[in-house]
Structure formats: C-alpha cells, structure tokens
C-alpha cells in the first residue's frame, strides 16, 4: 500500500503452473474513484527496467525472470495518479488488478495532467508522430463561444493545420480531411463537423482518451493516408452516480454516468444541443415582418447524444455497447399571403448527421493473450430539400401548383474486427488481427415532384454502390538490444467493387536507437492505401462533400511516408519536458479533384466519375515540438515548416501547383497556468502562412456583354498571414453537492482581421463617366474579438 491506496487482487491465481524462474503478472489498471480503465499506464520492473503499458482497454501483461525464492516487483505509474508497487513470487502466474487514486490539485502541488504516461518516455518508445492530448487539458484551453472543441485543440499541434477561420477541419502533413481515419470507440466517423465546420461532433465531457497518429502508422490501422485520430469514450462510473454539464452562449450539455450494478455494470449518456435557432427566430421573424409585411422563419441547430453500457461479465470477459447520433439542420420557411386567399409558400432545408453504434467483446484468452472483437455500424447522410406551393385564381378556377425537390447522399458501413494482443515476454509485444467492412455508397439521389409540368414524379433510385473491404495485419514491438527497439508489421488489404478487385501490401516499420539514455534517433516507413474518396468543392467541410468509392475507372489513393527525427526527455528544476523534431516526406498518387466547373449538383448514380480527374501529390517538411508536462505552468510550443503540392494533367495545364492548404510556416504557443487549485489562466497564440487561392490576373472585354478572366496558375496568390490569440480565465467554486466552474474566454483577443475569403468588387462610374470606385479584390473577415462566458458544473 502506497499513500493509503489499496490494491484490488483477483480471487485466485491463473490456472496453470509457470515454469520455474519466470512469472507472468497480468490484469487491468483502473481509476479507483470511477472504475474507468486507464490507457497507457506504465507497468515497470524497477530492478530490470523491463516494462509494458496498458492497452486501449486498460489491460497489461508482463512476464519476468525470477530467481527461486525471490519475487517479481512492479511499479505502476501514471501522471496525475499516485504510484503503486506490487510483488509476486515465482512459480505461478498471478492475475492482479490495480486501482490508482487520482491526485487532487492540493496533493499534486497544483500539477496539471500533461501526458498520458509518466514512465513511458518519448525517447524509449518506437512510435513517431504520435501525440496524446489529455481531455483535462482540452477542457482548460480557450474555446470559441465557450464550446470546448477537441479538433481545434489538435490544430495547435505541429503538422496539423486548420482550414479556414474558426473551422474544425484537420489537414495533417499536407493531406486532406478525407485522409484522416477518425475513430470514436473504434467506429469510423465520416463527417466530424457541426455548424458548417465551426464545431466538431465530439463532446469532451463524454471522452476518456484522445490520440493522434501523424506518421509511422502501426499495421493495425488501415484505410487512410494521412492520420489516425483514435478517440475513446468514457465507460461510466462503476462506483457512484455522478454528472457534469455546461451552459454556454450557443449550446448546453449534460452528462450522467453511474453504476447499474456496482463493480459489475455501468452506463454513461451525454447530450448536447444548440439554441441558436431559438434565440434568433423571434429577431428574424420581427425583422422580415417589418420589412415585407410577411414573416419568415429561419433557423439552425445541432444536437448530439453519446451513450455507452459497460458490463463486466466475468474476470475474463467484458461487453461494451456504445452509440453516437448527431444531426445538423438549417431551415427557412416563408409564406406570402394575399387578401383573396392566394399565397406563395416556400420551405427550404439542409440537414446532415452521423450515426455510429458498436458492440465490443473483450476476452482474456490467457495471461499473455488478450482479444477484442468489435462489430460496428456507421452511417453519414446529408439531404437538401426544397418545397414550393403556389395557390392562385384563374378566370375559371383556383389552382395550386406544387414543386418538391429532394437531393440526398450517404455512406454506410457494417464492419467486424478482431484484434489480439500477445505479450510473451518484455522484449516482444505482438498484435495481429483482421477486419471486414461492407460499404454502401450513395453519392447522390434526386427526387422531383412537380404537378405543373411534364416532370411529374421522377426519382433516381439506382444510385447505390456496394463494396467489400478486408484486411489482415501483424506487428511486433521488438526490443532487439538495450539501445535498439523496432516495431515492424505488415498489413494486407483487398477491396472489391463492381467486379473490380484492388489489393495492397503495406509494410510498416518504425525504430528508435538510444544515442544516450535521454536522446533517441527515430525513423519510420509506412505504405498506405485508401479505397474511398471525398469529392469537395470547398475547404471548410461542408455537408455537400460526397463520399465515393474507388471503381474500375477511379483507382484508390496510395501513399508512402518516410520520417526521421530525434526525441529527448528533459528534467529541469524537478519538472518534466519532452522535445522532438521530425522530418517527413510523403508522395501520394491517384488523388482526385473535380474538373474545372464541375460540382456535386446533378451528381447521381455513377456519373460523378465523369466529373473528376486524377493526379499526384507531394508533402514534406519538418516539425519541432517541446512540451512542459508538470508543474503549475504547462503547455507546449510547436513549429512546422512544410510544403504540399499537387499535379493533375487536366488542371493548371498539367503544371505543379501548391495545395490550397500548403502552409509554409505554422506556429503555436499553448500555456496553462494554475494560480491556485481553483483559479486557472490559459492562452493560445497561433500563426500561419496565408492560404493559397486562385485569383483573376486580368480581365478582357469580349463584345458588349461578355468578359474573359485570365486566372493564371492555380493557387498562385497568397492570402494575408493568419494569427490570433485566445485567452480563458476559469474560477472553480466548491459546493456541498459538487463544484461550479465559471469561465470567461476571449477569442481573437487583439481582434486581428484574418482573411476568410476574397471576392472581386466591380468598379463603378458616376453619371459623368468619372471613376467612383476602382475594381479591386476585397477581403472578408469573419470573427473580430469575441468574448464568451460559460458555466460548467460537476456533481
């Protein structure tokens, strides 16, 4: 017992005898107060230095040599928690669960959680381009309109860029948003944006762990080129009922969790909704009525719900059932009535949303072999609807004409996946498994009903494409020598669509070599294949972006990535720092873009294939990252120097051009300071080279009514540089029933006029032919300084 924290030991030991001289200790590491599994906890033998870390389900297994009559000793540590020690005698395997007590702010010396694992040093691991951002840290950072956003925090990391002002899209190492594999409890999320990209779909109150992988991809991940964002939901408090929530300017949320049966089953449910439509509706209604005499109803809202059930069936089996649903809706309704009863009625709406569900079974086959089987369903859909009704009198009768148009697009996945973790000894950690996905694509379906013309009732329903994707993998994290450690793996993929079969062989390898105990040289190589594409006309993740499969005419995207870098752990004045520098080179091929002038409009069945062109891409650069993990002041500094280019034979006359989000310089500074256990000040500052855009360089008059614009090279003009500072001051008040946190935030503190987009303003002359206004490009800026206040609570 350390610091008064007890150990929970499973009844009995495991059923077979261990050969003399070795002992296998295995089990789970959990939060003592909630029962939550803890991910990435370091389990180390202090005498040998050998160790492991808990997997994504909190499980660990460590086999150690033990002399006769001696015992194997373990040290379990996790930043933000008290350490525990345990000893097991040689002769038999031992099943042992640890329960770690969280350090309070007073006990920790106002220490802020800043890293997932204390003992798993950055210089020791083989992983490259992988960053964990604790949820507690995410909640402490400033937020737009008071709404905490996971993706906006990830944009502050090196190698990760935002799209346009305020949006939550991720552009990782020169890639596009569709090249990010976003997993919520292991289920893919295809559109991660609310409010046309300004907020993400992830409610931080429901999350347990956030991990971003930018390079050196392990073989267990497949299907995307640029990154993996692996987000785990909380499992529900198994000890007591509790809740938390927040009330902000644009949205409110509430999370409830607790035991169904203590130490056996638990639940968590989290809900969030905006009320922008409720606040703005009476203002818009009054304004339109005063101007036109008729009222219009215009609104927008989004909501999302996360839910999860957790059932400990036995000491070796656990079941999880998780679900997410979220939906955005924009609507506009207008009616113009005449005194004689005639009217014009218009109703327009745009809606989009995700639905994900997953059933997961964890089974401990033996002390060294852990299995996870996961069945998932994922759906993303958007639809556009227009309804018009016109009632009018003719000379002979009263007629009513009705017109109804509906356009929808969706993608659905049904998947089964099995992963196995095998830890035969401290020098090997082996993972292997397989996955099958049944895809259903509907790039576009158009329905038209019109009783006033020959169109009648038309429906294009033959617009669904079925595809099968399968993959198997194996990888081993192998300590070759004390200095050299290698993670080597191989992934085999297959994709069948419309009788066409594509395959890919994807070797993955990453390694670290210790130059000194603190300095490590790291390198990685990964080959990746992506069998789906995203057709987009914009860079802000609009819901009208279409997901489409590789076909006989359109090949899958393929890429390779090579990384090389250094990493070091630093300790200065008893506080921990991490330093890393990575360079990367990533060639990509079979990327697709719309041809000039094409868009999603009219895209039905498979005719989208005639609207796209295929090309290549290159991304390369260097990333610097230094993070302070402990103490009253925590945070990081990140800097990226990068290039991202594209080449399409049918665009820009076949010449290479910069990608729209080719950003030469990208810098971020993040600071969180605890003045006391109840008062926190945080701030962020970001800088980025301006986005590349295509603008007309000259305009020619062709006759009295026609003009011609010469646009020159694609993306040859740069917008102004982007920079912004945000701050947040939070005060915690203790109550008898819990606590309340009042937060005051300022987005864009010095009100920088950052460019959102540029438009061309025509010149103007007066009646005498004198120039009143010269033709010029004008910049639109979206957000000045925006103060916001939110109140969150826990009980």
**Residues 101-160: tens digit of each pLDDT:** 887 644 444 444 433 334 457 778 888 888 888 888 888 888 777 778 888 888 899 999
Structural tokens at position 544: 């009208």
Q: Per-residue pLDDT tens for 96-111?
A: 889 888 876 444 444 4
pLDDT at 382 over 70: yes
CB 583 within 8 A of CB 526: no
Residue 776's pLDDT is 81
pLDDT at 401 over 50: yes
* Bridging pattern class, strands 546-549 and 557-572: unpaired
What's the CATH fold of domain 130-794?
A: Maltoporin; Chain A (2.40.170)
Structural tokens at position 778: 């004008």
Closest CA to 233 of 299, 324, 152: 324
| Calpha distance 213→129 (Å, rounded) | 6
Work out the average pLDDT over 367-390. 90
At 281, the pLDDT band (50, 70, 90 cuts) reads low
What value does the mean pLDDT of the chain take? 83
CB 408 within 8 A of CB 448: no
CB 475 within 8 A of CB 488: yes
Q: Secondary structure of 453-472 in the HEC alphabet? A: CCCEEEECCCCCEEEEEEEE
* Bridging pattern class, strands 94-100 and 546-549: unpaired
pLDDT at 601 over 70: no
Q: Per-residue pLDDT tens for 25-65?
A: 888 998 888 888 888 888 888 877 788 888 888 899 988 88
Work out the average pLDDT over 744-766. 84
Residue 2's pLDDT is 35
Work out the average pLDDT over 179-202. 85
Residue 663: alpha-carbon gap to chain centroid: 20
* Bridging pattern class, strands 343-366 and 369-393: antiparallel
Output the CA angle 717-718-723, nearest 5 degrees: 170
At 86, the pLDDT band (50, 70, 90 cuts) reads confident
pLDDT at 300 over 90: no
Q: For the residues of 468-517, what is the DSSP string, one character each?
A: EEEEEEEEEEEE-SSSEEEEEEEEEEEEEETTEEEEEEEEEEEEEEESSS
Structural tokens at position 762: 């025509």
Work out the average pLDDT over 662-689. 92
Lowest-confidence segment of 176-185, 343-352, 369-378 by average pLDDT: 343-352
Q: Per-residue pLDDT tens for 488-533?
A: 999 999 999 989 999 999 999 999 999 988 899 999 999 999 999 9
Residue 103's pLDDT is 76
Structural tokens at position 537: 């006309």
Closest CA to 694 of 760, 781, 774, 762: 760
Residue 555's pLDDT is 93
Q: Give the count of beta carbons closer than 10 Å to the beta carbon of residue 379.
A: 17
CA distances to 88, 122, 741, 775 from 733, in Å: 44, 36, 6, 57
Percent of the chain at pLDDT above 90? 39
Residue 294's pLDDT is 61
Structural tokens at position 634: 């925590």
* Bridging pattern class, strands 207-213 and 84-89: unpaired
| Calpha distance 222→215 (Å, rounded) | 12
Per the document, the length of the chain is 795
Work out the average pLDDT over 244-255. 88
Burial of 609 by CB count in 10 Å (0-12 exposed, 13-18 middle, 19+ buried)? middle
At 723, the pLDDT band (50, 70, 90 cuts) reads very high
At 587, the pLDDT band (50, 70, 90 cuts) reads very high
pLDDT at 541 over 70: no
| Calpha distance 568→551 (Å, rounded) | 45
Work out the average pLDDT over 251-278. 89
Q: Per-residue pLDDT tens for 625-674?
A: 999 877 889 899 999 999 999 999 988 888 999 998 899 999 999 999 99
Q: Secondary structure of 232-275 in the HEC alphabet? A: EECCCCCCCCEEEEEECCCEEEEEEEEEEECCCEEEEEEEEEEC
Lowest-confidence segment of 408-417, 426-435, 604-613 by average pLDDT: 604-613
Residue 463's pLDDT is 63
pLDDT at 536 over 90: no
pLDDT at 565 over 90: yes
Determine the longest span between alpha carbons in the chain, in angstroms.
Answer: 108
At 397, the pLDDT band (50, 70, 90 cuts) reads confident
Work out the average pLDDT over 219-232. 93
CA distances to 178, 401, 414 from 531, in Å: 11, 45, 16
Closest CA to 649 of 709, 712, 589: 589
CB 347 within 8 A of CB 387: yes
CA distances to 270, 369, 414, 434, 489 from 319, in Å: 20, 17, 19, 20, 29
At 280, the pLDDT band (50, 70, 90 cuts) reads low
Which residues face 759 on adjacent strands? 778
Contacts of 735 (CB under 8 A, 6+ apart): none
Residue 124's pLDDT is 80
Which residues face 534 on adjacent strands? 547
Which residues face 204 on adjacent strands? none
Q: Is 287 helix (H, G, I), strand (E, B) or coil?
A: helix
| Calpha distance 303→352 (Å, rounded) | 11
Residue 624's pLDDT is 95
Range picked from 291-295, 326-330, 619-623, 779-783 for highest mean pLDDT: 619-623
Work out the average pLDDT over 451-478. 75
H/E stretch holding 291:
helix 276-292
Q: Give the count of beta carbons closer than 10 Å to the beta carbon of residue 710.
A: 9
Which residues face 600 on adjacent strands? none
| Calpha distance 752→686 (Å, rounded) | 12
At 16, the pLDDT band (50, 70, 90 cuts) reads very low
Closest CA to 136 of 244, 46, 62, 32: 244
Structural tokens at position 728: 């947040």
CB 87 within 8 A of CB 73: yes
Percent of the chain at pLDDT above 70? 86
At 453, the pLDDT band (50, 70, 90 cuts) reads low
Residue 269's pLDDT is 95
How many CA atoms within 13 Å lie on the side-chain side of 590? 20
CB 381 within 8 A of CB 353: yes
Q: Is 381 helix (H, G, I), strand (E, B) or coil?
A: strand
Output the CA angle 620-621-624, nearest 5 degrees: 150
pLDDT at 449 over 50: yes
Residue 699's pLDDT is 72
* Bridging pattern class, strands 692-693 and 657-658: unpaired
Lowest-confidence segment of 59-63, 308-312, 337-341, 429-433 by average pLDDT: 337-341
Closest CA to 157 of 130, 122, 175: 130
Residue 261's pLDDT is 92
pLDDT at 172 over 70: yes
Q: Per-residue pLDDT tens for 70-80?
A: 788 888 888 77
pLDDT at 562 over 60: yes
At 1, the pLDDT band (50, 70, 90 cuts) reads very low
**Domain boundaries, given as residue ranges, for the chain:** 8-100, 130-794
| Calpha distance 165→163 (Å, rounded) | 7
Closest CA to 437 of 453, 417, 463: 417
pLDDT at 18 over 60: no
CA distances to 297, 338, 391, 455 from 388, in Å: 15, 16, 10, 15
At 445, the pLDDT band (50, 70, 90 cuts) reads low
Contacts of 7 (CB under 8 A, 6+ apart): 1, 84, 86, 96, 97, 98, 99
CB 569 within 8 A of CB 518: yes
What φ, ψ does residue 136 adopt, rounded to 5°?
Answer: -60, -35
CB 47 within 8 A of CB 85: no
Output the CA angle 452-458-461, nearest 5 degrees: 160
Residue 464's pLDDT is 81
How many CA atoms within 13 Å lie on the side-chain side of 122? 28
At 166, the pLDDT band (50, 70, 90 cuts) reads low
Give the CATH number of domain 8-100; options: 3.20.20.80, 2.60.40.1120, 3.40.50.10210, 2.40.30.110.
Answer: 2.60.40.1120
């Amino acid at each position: 017992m350390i610091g008064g924290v007890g150990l929970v030991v499973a009844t009995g030991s495991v059923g077979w005898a261990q050969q003399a001289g070795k002992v296998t200790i295995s089990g789970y590491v959990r939060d003592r107060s909630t029962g939550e599994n803890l991910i990435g906890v370091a389990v180390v033998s202090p005498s040998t230095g050998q160790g492991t870390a808990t997997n994504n389900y909190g499980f660990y297994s460590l086999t150690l040599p033990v002399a006769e009559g001696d015992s194997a000793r373990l040290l379990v540590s996790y930043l933000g928690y008290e350490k525990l020690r345990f000893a097991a005698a040689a002769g038999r395997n031992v099943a042992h669960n640890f329960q770690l007590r969280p350090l309070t702010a007073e006990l920790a010396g106002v220490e802020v959680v800043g890293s997932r694992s204390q003992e798993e040093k950055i210089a020791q691991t083989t992983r490259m381009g992988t960053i964990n951002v604790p949820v507690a840290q995410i909640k402490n950072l400033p937020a737009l309109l008071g709404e905490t956003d996971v993706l906006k925090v990830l944009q502050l990391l090196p190698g990760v860029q935002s799209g346009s002002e305020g949006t939550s899209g991720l552009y990782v190492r020169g890639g596009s948003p569709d090249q990010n594999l976003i997993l919520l409890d292991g289920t893919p999320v295809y559109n991660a944006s609310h409010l046309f990209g300004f907020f993400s779909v992830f409610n931080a109150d429901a999350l347990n762990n956030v991990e971003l992988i930018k390079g050196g991809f392990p073989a267990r991940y497949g299907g995307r080129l640029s990154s993996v964002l692996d987000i785990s939901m909380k499992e529900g408090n198994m000890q007591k009922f509790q809740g938390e929530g927040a009330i902000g300017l644009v949205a409110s949320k509430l999370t409830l969790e607790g035991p169904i049966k203590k130490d056996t089953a638990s639940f968590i449910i989290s809900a969030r909704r905006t009320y922008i439509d409720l606040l703005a509706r009476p203002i818009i209604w009054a304004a339109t009525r005063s101007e036109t005499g008729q009222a219009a109803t215009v609104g927008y809202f989004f909501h999302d719900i996360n839910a999860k059930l957790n059932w400990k069936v036995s000491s070796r089996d656990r079941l999880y059932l998780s679900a997410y649903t979220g939906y955005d809706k924009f609507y506009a309704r207008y009616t113009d009535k005449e005194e004689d009863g005639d009217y014009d009625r218009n109703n327009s709406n745009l809606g989009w949303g995700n639905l994900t569900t997953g059933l997961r079974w964890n089974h401990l086959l033996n002390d060294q072999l852990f299995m996870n089987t996961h069945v998932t369903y994922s759906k993303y859909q958007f639809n556009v609807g227009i309804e018009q009704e016109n009632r009018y009198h003719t000379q002979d009768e009263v007629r009513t004409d009705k017109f109804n148009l509906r356009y929808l697009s969706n993608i659905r996945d049904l998947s089964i996946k099995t992963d196995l973790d095998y830890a035969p000894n401290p020098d090997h950690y082996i993972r292997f498994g397989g996955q099958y996905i049944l895809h259903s694509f509907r790039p576009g379906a158009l329905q038209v009903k019109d009783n006033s013309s020959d169109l009648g009732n038309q429906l294009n329903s033959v617009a669904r494409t079925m595809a099968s994707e399968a993959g198997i993998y194996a990888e081993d994290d192998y300590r070759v020598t004390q200095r050299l450690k290698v993670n080597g793996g191989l992934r085999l993929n297959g994709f069948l669509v419309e009788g066409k079969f594509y395959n890919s062989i994807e070797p993955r390898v990453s390694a670290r070599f210790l130059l000194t105990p603190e300095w490590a040289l790291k390198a990685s190589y990964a080959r990746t294949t992506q069998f789906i594409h995203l057709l987009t006309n914009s860079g802000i993740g609009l819901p009208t972006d279409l997901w489409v499969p590789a076909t006989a005419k359109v090949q899958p995207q393929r890429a390779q990535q090579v990384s090389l870098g250094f990493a070091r752990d630093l300790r200065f004045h008893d506080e921990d720092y991490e330093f890393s520098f990575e360079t990367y080179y990533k060639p990509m091929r079979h990327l697709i873009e719309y041809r000039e002038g094409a868009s999603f409009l009219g895209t039905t069945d498979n005719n989208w294939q005639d609207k796209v062109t295929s090309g290549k891409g290159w991304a390369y650069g260097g990333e610097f990252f230094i993070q302070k993990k402990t103490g009253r002041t925590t945070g990081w500094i990140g800097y990226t120097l990068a290039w991202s280019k594209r080449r399409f034979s049918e665009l820009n006359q076949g010449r290479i051009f910069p990608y729209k989000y080719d950003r030469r310089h990208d810098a971020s500074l993040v600071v969180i300071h605890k003045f006391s256990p109840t008062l926190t000040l945080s701030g962020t500052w970001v800088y980025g080279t301006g986005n590349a855009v295509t603008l007309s360089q000259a305009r020619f008059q062709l006759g009295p009514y026609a003009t011609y614009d010469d646009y020159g090279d694609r993306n040859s003009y740069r917008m102004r540089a982007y920079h912004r500072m945000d701050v947040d001051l939070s005060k915690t008040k203790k109550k008898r029933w819990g606590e309340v946190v009042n937060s005051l935030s300022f987005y864009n503190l010095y009100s920088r006029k950052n460019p959102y987009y540029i438009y061309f303003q025509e010149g103007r002359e007066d009646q005498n032919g004198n120039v009143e206004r010269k033709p010029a490009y004008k910049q639109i800026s979206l957000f000045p300084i925006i103060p916001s206040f939110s109140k969150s609570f826990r009980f």
